[in-house]
Structure 1
Amino acid sequence: MPLKKIKVIAFDADDTLWVNETLFRSAEDELCDLLEEFMSREEASRLLFDVEMKNLPLYGYGIKPFTLSLIEAAITISNGDMKIALVEKLIEKGKQMLQEPIELIDGIDSTLGELSQRYRLVMATKGDLLDQERKLIKSGLEKHFHHIEIVSDKTEKQYRKLVSHLDIAEHEFLMVGNSLKSDILPVLNIGAHAFHIPFHTTWAHEMVDEEISHPNFKSFTKASELLEIL
């Protein structure tokens, strides 16, 4: 479908509007440092990922679920032989992550400002409602968006529901994001457009080993490139 038919552009939040994943990797490094006497960094990192995957159906996405997984992983890595001070450190790390200042992706503010003059813009993200709302307000980007959608996960069903709520057809919808798994593939599968802007750090859970060849798909290196094609 031609791009001139697009009426609504949705943007992912974490690592598309602002920097996020580096905070998680920093916390993971800190966990590995604290528990190096019990397990190698590589093994500890792998164990934390396994714990996160096990907990996803129960806790969902976000910093608070990640903090619980950090604590659980630390208990497992240390065979239950960790001091309460370590638990306190991990809890404090989670709180610190929740209070980090927002670092916008280069060029995103001006790009949204220009696009909002011609399209309805939507922020479509997954994760913890309170945390994502807080980050949006702190970012100063809220003014650009017509609608905010925060869901527990991004699936074809959720995207269809969003498109229906916006009262548009699938081919009039464009999703922009950094995750091929969450922002691109399910959107293409419902017949909409999807633009990929990779972030330099990607969580293993969001990676897909797949070459995408689709008429509704494009990939860019930075947000401002959207203005050259839309």
Structure 2
Amino acid sequence: MAQNLTTVGFDADDTLWHNERFFQLTQARFAELLADHAAPDHLAERLLAAERRNIGHYGFGIKGFVLSMIETALEVTDNRVPGDVIAELIAAGQEMLSHPIELMPHAQAAVEAAAETHRVLLITKGDLLDQERKLAQSGLGELFHGVEIVSDKTPRVYAEIFARPGAGADRGLMVGNSMKSDVVPMIRAGGWGVFLPGSLSWALEHAEAPQESPRFREIPDLSGLAPVLEAIG
């Protein structure tokens, strides 16, 4: 076991398996359905605003996304959106909730390698049932020493999670594709944050990189994680 770093946390969506691209495909279909009522860019702005408003009510995940699409459709049509459009949006959400899991490049090898030398955790946010489904289908579940499905990722949440194995956040590392959720709050909690910039990410997950922090790292894909863990020690 490493002397300095004891625990490695992995984000799930768009870090270990593809996710955001299904949201983008559904949003493109949404734009087609509402093309007679709003230009694509305007519709995207209205949808993003609805998602931002609704996070506190619905949390993160597909169900909240579908409800935000329906709300936006009602807004841009002055409550005259056809019922068949609502039905298509619901069907799109159901399809997203049953889509097969496709692992990101090097995901399994990265988790397996980290698990040989560190305690490894899956730390994700979103709908509980959907995240449990994806983890079960991924084939990675047995590699993790613990799984945390949280409503949001904040410095306090990370401090509590990494304190449970007994080492604390200062001896922990979090790797993920969201600067806002995976990297910045983990560093603020006292740990290491590793960013995967190559993955798609939701607009609400963008944040400035903490370039001034000595605990910030960036890797092109998960094949770069092992050298980072070795260098930290």
Band the TM-score falls in, shorter-chain normalisation: over 0.9
In structure 2, do the counterparts of structure 1 residues 4 and 216 end up closer, same or farther at CA, with 3 Å as the change threshold? farther
1:115 aligns with 2:129: no
TM-score (norm 2): 0.94
Shift of 1:199: 3.6
- Residue 143 of structure 1 is matched in structure 2 by 142
Partner of residue 6, structure 2: 7
Counterpart of 1:38 in structure 2 is 37
Alpha-carbon displacement from aligned partner over 1:161-184 (angstroms, at most 9, x marks no partner): 102212112221010111110011
Distance 2:131 2:203 in 1: 21
Partner in structure 2 of residue 202 of structure 1: 201
- Say which is worse superposed, 144-153 or 167-176, in terms of deviation: 167-176
CA shift, 1:211, in A, is 5.2
2:64 matched residue in structure 1: 65
The residue number in structure 2 matching 1:128 is: 127
The aligned residue for residue 95 of structure 2 is 96
- SS of the residue 2:116 aligns to: coil
Match of 1:222? 221
| Equivalence map 1:132-211=2 (5 Å) | 132-210=131-209
1:6 Cα deviation after fit: 0.5
Q: Give the whole-Å Cα distance in 2 for the aligned partners of 1:118 and 1:221.
A: 22
Q: Which amino acid aligns with 1:18?
A: W
Q: 1:228 to 1:209 in 2, by over 3 A?
A: closer
Aligned AA (1:69): S
Aligned equivalents of 2:49, 2:17: Cα separation in 1: 26
Supply the AA of the counterpart residue of 2:125: K
1:101 is paired with a residue whose SS is coil
Q: TM-score, normalised by structure 1?
A: 0.96
Structure 1: distance between partners of 2:213 and 2:38: 44
Q: List gaps (5 residues or longer) in structure 1.
A: none
Partner of 1:16: 15
Deviation digits for residues 1-40 of structure 1 (CA, Å, limit 9, x no counterpart): xx85111100000110101111111111111111111110
Please state how far the C-alpha of 1:154 moved relative to its aligned partner: 0.3
User: What secondary structure, in the 3-state scheme, does the structure 2 residue paired with 1:122 have?
Assistant: strand
For 2:8, what is the secondary structure of its paired residue? strand
Check the 8 A contact 2:15/2:199 in 1, yes or no. Answer: no
Could you tell me how far apart the structure 2 residues matched to 1:35 and 1:149 are? Answer: 37
AA partner of residue 187 (structure 1)? M
The 2-side partners of 1:128 and 1:199 are apart by 24
Would you say how many aligned residue pairs link Structure 1 and Structure 2? 228
Query: Could you report, residue by residue, the CA deviation over 1:192-225 in whole angstroms, capped at 9, with x for unpaired residues?
Result: 1111112442211011144522111110001011
Please say if residues 194 and 217 of structure 2, whose CA atoms lie closer than 8 Å, have aligned partners that are also in contact.
yes
- Aligned-residue identity in percent: 36
Cα distance change, pair 106–121 in 1 and its aligned pair in 2 (3 A): same
* Aligned CA distance change for structure 1 residues 7 and 207 (closer, same or farther; 3 Å): same
Counterparts in 2 of 1:200 and 1:121: CA distance versus 1, 3 Å: closer
Aligned letter for 1:27?
T
Deviations 1:92-123 (A, max 9, x none): 00000000110100011012112211111100
Amino acid at match of 1:73: T
CA distance in structure 2 between the aligned counterparts of 1:159 and 1:218, rounded to whole angstroms? 17
Distance of 2:166 and 2:96 partners within structure 1: 37
Unaligned runs of 5+ residues in structure 2 are none
